[in-house]
Homo-oligomer: A and B are copies of this chain.
Amino acid sequence: MENEHTYSASSYRTPDGAPTDIVIFTITAQDRESGKKSLPLRELQLLLIERKIWPFQGVWALPGGFTQETETVAECAQRELKEETGISDVRIEYFNVYSAPGRDPRGWMISHAFLALVKEDLLRERKASIDAADVRLFPVSEAMNMKLAFDHHDIIRDALDKIREKMLTTTIAKEFLPEEFTIGELYQVIQTVVPAFEEKNFIRKVTSTQIRKGIIEEVRDEAGKLKSSNKYSQRAAQLYRFTDYEPQLSIYS
């Protein structure tokens, strides 16, 4: 009877680990040197850590680590992110698995890749951990030309494709923006992630077109007066916030 419950596959070769890798994107904003008020220069960056141990000692890599028996891979990603960079309370999203034989010199490792978009200020809390010599942001274009550990080059490429698609089809732009923002900031964030994006009448589409009307809404103060900001420009710009509405896209309607 007990023999019936013997799991025959247990005598097979089993994986040597189920690691997670986390691709953290952020958009940095840097004020331009000209004394005048103007939109800051924005750049898409990602977070890497320098490996202190074999394999790929001294090489930059994505944060991540090994899943434990008592947690899901998503919980592992949250935990490792906290341990290695000090970042917590971030919405991370699973996007792919990497299982090519030989991808990890330590053995048979099937890695689960997550991505997260965080506001720049959250990264100020980052710290070097005992496992990493250093933690740093790199511009995405620079990271793609660096030597990276494992197949992290592929993982970053896939993550980038994914957020480009999501930037245009969902409201993830909000992950990069403050609660209240101007149309100019929103436009700039979209273009930072998707450089090819260009819409001549952007302000009209996003505010007055029927199907998109609900995505963002004007911010008003306690008295009900429209709230604006002249942080980036001489003329004050109307502030907006995202609503909870997520438009449903379709190629057939």
Q: Which residues of B contact A169 (CB under 8 A)?
A: 169, 249-251
A14 contacts chain B at the CB level, 8 A cutoff: yes
Q: CB distance B251 to A106 under 8 Å?
A: no
Q: CB distance B13 to A68 under 8 Å?
A: yes
Q: What mask results when residues 53 to 85 of chain A are scored 1 for a CB within 8 Å of chain B, else 0?
A: 111000000000011111111100000000000
A110 contacts chain B at the CB level, 8 A cutoff: yes
A205 contacts chain B at the CB level, 8 A cutoff: yes
Q: CB distance B99 to A97 under 8 Å?
A: no
Q: CB distance B99 to A197 under 8 Å?
A: no
Q: CB distance B106 to A7 under 8 Å?
A: yes
Q: Which residues of B contact A72 (CB under 8 A)?
A: 99-101
A40 contacts chain B at the CB level, 8 A cutoff: no
Q: CB distance B68 to A97 under 8 Å?
A: no
Q: Which residues of B contact A250 (CB under 8 A)?
A: 168-169, 249
Contact of A12 among B53, B66, B110 (CB under 8 A): B66
A16 contacts chain B at the CB level, 8 A cutoff: yes
Q: Which of A17, A70, A74, A215 has the most CB of B within 10 A?
A: A17
Distance in angstroms between the alpha carbons of A212 and B112 in the assembled complex: 36
Chain A residues bordering chain B, tally (CB within 8 A)? 55
Contact of A69 among B13, B212, B251 (CB under 8 A): B13
Determine how close the nearest CB of chain B comes to the CB of A132; give it in whole angstroms.
15
Distance in angstroms between the alpha carbons of A66 and B107 in the assembled complex: 17
Q: What mask results when residues 95 to 107 of chain A are scored 1 for a CB within 8 Å of chain B, else 0?
A: 0110111000011
A-B contacts, 19 of them at CB < 8 A, read: A4-B54, A5-B54, A7-B106, A12-B66, A13-B68, A14-B14, A14-B15, A15-B15, A72-B100, A73-B99, A94-B96, A94-B97, A97-B97, A99-B112, A110-B112, A168-B253, A171-B251, A199-B252, A205-B253
**4 tightest A-B CB contacts, nearest first:** A168-B250, A249-B249, A7-B106, A72-B99
- Taking beta carbons and an 8 Å cutoff, which residues of A are in contact with B? 4-5, 7-10, 12-18, 53-55, 66-74, 94, 96-97, 99-101, 106-108, 110, 112, 168-171, 190, 197, 199, 202, 205-206, 212, 215, 247-253
